[in-house]
Amino acid sequence: MSDAWIGLLGALIGGGLSLIGAFGVASYQHSKNAKAVTMAIRAEIDALLKIVETREYVTQLAEWETEWRRGIHRPRTISVKREYFSIFKSNSSGVGLLPPSSVGHVVEFYTLAMGFIEDCDTWSETVKASPDGPWPINEENIAETRTVLEKAVAAGKQAVSAIDNHYRSACTG
Please state the domain extents for the chain.
37-172
**DSSP count for the chain of H helices, then E strands:** 5, 0
Q: Find the length of the chain.
A: 173
- Measured distance CA(147)–CA(151) in Å, rounded: 6
pLDDT tens profile 36-72: 899 999 999 999 999 999 999 999 999 999 998 898 8
Which pLDDT belongs to residue 26?
44
Low-confidence ranges of the chain (pLDDT < 50): 25-28, 173
Which pLDDT belongs to residue 127?
79
CA distances to 1, 44, 51, 73 from 76, in Å? 88, 27, 19, 9
Distance between terminal CA atoms of the chain?
A: 47
Global pTM value: 0.79
